[in-house]
Structure 1
């Protein structure tokens, strides 16, 4: 199969120190020509992980590998483990990320191979601790977190969460969002972070006592439009 594409990239967030399930499934199924420059950019909260090694293991079966790989540190909003950053702190992280993106774009535009050292890398975390935690998260489906979603009295029934849900897990019943337990959650937490009333909570956690955060440059309209394209 011939192609005129010369550069192909994968940009994705790190979930539980690993590849998100949809990204992993996509990489296994997608056709990739062997004569293109392949790169990957993984956004994360800062922890070291093996996502690029995971990608190369998948691509190896296709007879190809990544030419370049980059981590991009972003504000961490996985609020089941971390408190979302305050606006000032988040903006500082985004400023650094913007500079970092310019450097990454230069490598890609020049099609330079890059396997730079991860400044956060820890042998114990990357090769022992986080792989074990990742397997546990996947085995238990994030400790059954998707069964903990609920709304409190602040819910206005706006249905934004159901429109945003990438997995199609949320639907409305009598003006109240319901999470279908037969559909797997992607664990993106968009429903929580974009809820205008901060009405979505996780049972047996402190989500009702901490704030929310989503990238100010990504609107809920952007996510909905992306869903329509898919």
Structure 2
């Protein structure tokens, strides 16, 4: 079984590719997380968990959901993380999670996909995004073949930078930066409610037809990237930057593999 969480479609696409390659089912965790649904999960096939990378680790909302959800997977758990550059030392924390859950850890893989963290980085234009997606295909294929063979995903020894990034930097990053206070809406807003529906924590509501953010934000960037009118900004940093979703990048070029990016 493939479990996945995706905000702008990268992890949704990778999950679909893996599910298709293995002939296995997939389960979108969006509603499970949003609805605080911790009903049990049982997988007779290897469990494959596909998520984005938030500050060089699995998103805390996914890790928390896994911690409180009964999971049975005798064939062990693989982890595949989409990222803009690196997953750091995420594997160390995934091993701890597996130990807590009584799951056999089968390794982790990082898949470089287009950057969507528009709050801090520069998001790619559609043509560049499509180039990055195409370049990721061989890495996805290697993950599929490894799981098919029953092998653990290969891992390199983490560097000092990796350990610091996933450790102290992650610990400091969340309280310092992961807040919704800088989100704002412009007059381009059409009150469609897409941002409300896209939020995995139900942290956005419409008041007078305009989005209002609460305090429970995970910085998934779904609201700002999925807005059809690009009417949401994050401080001054996002002004003028492309809004990235997997589906938009795939449809803009009309070539290569497509589909699977449900949260886009």
**TM-score (ref. length: structure 2):** 0.73
Contact between 1:48 and 1:125, CA under 8 Å: does it hold in 2?
A: no
Aligned to 2:44: 5
| Cα separation, partners in 2 of 1:218 and 1:6, compared to 1, 3 Å | closer
In 1, the alpha carbon distance for the partners of 2:259 and 2:210 equals 25
Q: CA deviation at 1:141?
A: 5.0
In 1, the alpha carbon distance for the partners of 2:104 and 2:75 equals 10
Q: CA deviation at 1:71?
A: 1.0
SS at match of 1:196: coil
SS at match of 2:65: helix
- Larger mean Cα displacement after TM superposition, 107-116 or 89-98: 107-116
Aligned to 1:212: 243
In 1, the alpha carbon distance for the partners of 2:90 and 2:166 equals 11
Higher relative contact order (CA 8 A, sep 6+): 2
Aligned to 1:195: 227
Contact between 1:76 and 1:82, CA under 8 Å: does it hold in 2?
A: yes
Q: CA deviation at 1:26?
A: 2.0
Q: Which runs of 5+ in 1 are unaligned?
A: 225-230
Is 1:133 matched up with 2:169? Answer: yes
Aligned to 2:36: none
Q: Deviations over 1:176-228 (max 9, x none)?
A: 111123xx11211111001111110122x3212222111125688x339xxxx
Q: Deviations over 1:122-149 (max 9, x none)?
A: x23212245222111123352xx31111
Aligned to 2:146: 107
Contact between 2:98 and 2:104, CA under 8 Å: does it hold in 1?
A: yes
In 2, the alpha carbon distance for the partners of 1:174 and 1:139 equals 30
Q: Deviations over 1:68-111 (max 9, x none)?
A: 32111101121122111122221111012122211211111221
Aligned to 1:27: 66
Q: 1:46 aligns with which of 85, 90, 98?
A: 85
Pairwise CA RMSD: 2.4
Is 1:88 matched up with 2:127? Answer: yes
In 1, the alpha carbon distance for the partners of 2:64 and 2:87 equals 22
- Larger mean Cα displacement after TM superposition, 123-132 or 96-105: 123-132
Contact between 1:34 and 1:63, CA under 8 Å: does it hold in 2?
A: no
Q: Deviations over 1:23-82 (max 9, x none)?
A: 111221233346313211011011241222101112223443311321111011211221
For the pair shown, the structure with the greater C-alpha radius of gyration is 1
SS at match of 2:164: helix
In 2, the alpha carbon distance for the partners of 1:55 and 1:21 equals 11
Aligned to 1:147: 181
| Cα separation, partners in 2 of 1:138 and 1:219, compared to 1, 3 Å | same
SS at match of 1:112: coil
**TM-score (ref. length: structure 1):** 0.83
Number of residue-to-residue matches in the alignment: 214
In 1, the alpha carbon distance for the partners of 2:93 and 2:229 equals 38
